[in-house]
Amino acid sequence: MDRSFCIAPMMRRTDRHFRYLCGLLSKESILFTEMIHANAINRNEPERFLNNSGISNATVLQVGGSSPEELKKATLIANEFNYSEINLNLGCPSSKVQSGNFGAVLMKDVNLVKNCLTEMIKVSAKEVTVKIRLGVDDLNIYQGLDYFIEELSKIGVNTFYVHARIALLKGLDPKENRTIPPLNYERVFQIKEDFKHLNVIINGGIGDFKMAKDKFKKLDGIMAGRAIYDLPFKLFDVDHIFYNSTEINNNLISVINEMFEYIDKLDSKDEIKTKFHMLNLFKGLNNAKKSRLLLLSNEKNDKIKNGLKDIVLASENQAA
């Protein structure tokens, strides 16, 4: 799997509806699910959480949890769905996640993490990977992080998605943990230098993709999250920049048409979610505000679709 460009897992963002939109904008990007707790998979109807139908891009299922048995069971269930990889979240800093003893707090207990991953690897039909921070609270981001990575690599973890910040679990909320701890790209470069046999993908603060391709060329890929959700149309350039694709991209009109073909097959709840994910697709266009009003309205889908296409065409004509 070519991880040159990955779209980060984001809670309440990277559900299957947003992933479908991303797949229309970039055929090559690696997609991630939201983090899904192993218990949610095991104790409910799996289809509710694991449905990835209609999505052709390689997709990574990210799971959370700290029970080796529950994670093993969830991995077995996930084998029946069309995911390309299973990723254990070791980076989420939210207080709710901490209280459940999963996410970033697990970086403080390497033996428990190893037990979890060992059970997952035993039964997984796909590669099992991790997403980590540079450290947690006072965990040493040099010797401590190297030891953590080395121990995980010994049990067969070969791919690390690294958010280039530490996580401060006391005093900062998840949003602050995405911005306040300083980025430390050099530390990620050093990880790759010290562990050349491992795949290292960098995450955090990446918004200029052309610059990122050059800046992080020594690594195995980049991962962007909010930059994509806030400006989804930036994905139009990804296949060309990172995968040397010569295919002609979908245009915004065709994306609108395909999205409404998709929306028309959804129930009302999922339809609302999907339209919400489209709100930022028209940022920067003339009458972008009108596009938001249309998507949030109770108008018939045909009227919304045609109104959005009119906005795009009018903006293109003014630019020409």
Could you read off the pLDDT of 58-117 as tens digits, one per residue? 999 999 999 999 999 999 999 999 999 999 999 988 766 665 678 899 999 999 999 999
Residues 160 and 107 reside in one and the same domain: yes
Residue owning tokens 């390689």: 58
Max CA separation in the chain (angstroms): 60
According to the model, what pLDDT value does residue 6 have?
98
DSSP-derived 3-state class of residue 226: helix
Q: Which of 33-47, 239-253, 259-273, 306-320 has the lowest mean pLDDT?
A: 306-320
Residues 202 and 83 reside in one and the same domain: yes
**Residue 205: pLDDT band with limits 50, 70, 90:** very high
Residues 279 and 131 reside in one and the same domain: no
Residues 210 and 133 reside in one and the same domain: yes
Residues 209 and 276 reside in one and the same domain: no
Half-sphere exposure of 87 (CA within 13 A, CB side): 29
**Which residue in 238, 190, 204, 213 sits closest to 23, CA to CA?**
238
Residues 178 and 280 reside in one and the same domain: no
Query: Rounded mean pLDDT of the chain?
Result: 95
Taking residue 237's Cβ as centre, other Cβ atoms within 10 Å add up to 14
**Which residue in 58, 3, 1 sits closest to 31, CA to CA?**
58
Q: Say if residues 61 and 79 touch (Cβ distance below 8 Å).
A: no
Q: Is 138 exposed, middle or buried (0-12, 13-18, 19+ CB in 10 A)?
A: exposed
Residues 263 and 192 reside in one and the same domain: no
Region label for 240, one of left (φ > 0), alpha (ψ between -120 and 50) or beta (otherwise): alpha
Region label for 244, one of left (φ > 0), alpha (ψ between -120 and 50) or beta (otherwise): left
According to the model, what pLDDT value does residue 140 have?
85
- Domain span at 273: 252-319
Residues 77 and 164 reside in one and the same domain: yes
E strand or H helix that includes residue 64: strand 59-64
Q: Averaged over 22-50, what is the pLDDT?
A: 97
Q: Averaged over 11-39, what is the pLDDT?
A: 97
According to the model, what pLDDT value does residue 93 have?
86
pLDDT tens, residue by residue, 152-185:
999 999 999 999 999 998 878 888 888 889 999 9
Look at residues 243, 275, 306 and tell me which one is the last residue of a structural domain: 243
Taking residue 71's Cβ as centre, other Cβ atoms within 10 Å add up to 29
DSSP state of 198: S
Instruction: Name the residues annotated as catalytic.
Output: 92
Residue owning tokens 């940022």: 283
Q: Report how many domains make up the chain.
A: 2
Q: Say if residues 87 and 161 touch (Cβ distance below 8 Å).
A: yes
**Residue 209: pLDDT band with limits 50, 70, 90:** very high
Residues 116 and 231 reside in one and the same domain: yes
Please tell me the distance from the alpha carbon of residue 25 to that of residue 142, in angstroms, as a whole number. 38
Residues 14 and 154 reside in one and the same domain: yes
Judged against a pLDDT cut of 70, whether residue 53 lies above it is answered with yes
**Residue 14: pLDDT band with limits 50, 70, 90:** very high
Please tell me the distance from the alpha carbon of residue 91 to that of residue 135, in angstroms, as a whole number. 9
Please tell me the distance from the alpha carbon of residue 147 to that of residue 207, in angstroms, as a whole number. 31
Residues 175 and 258 reside in one and the same domain: no
Judged against a pLDDT cut of 70, whether residue 193 lies above it is answered with yes
**Residue 138: pLDDT band with limits 50, 70, 90:** confident
Q: Averaged over 37-42, what is the pLDDT?
A: 96
Residues 102 and 166 reside in one and the same domain: yes
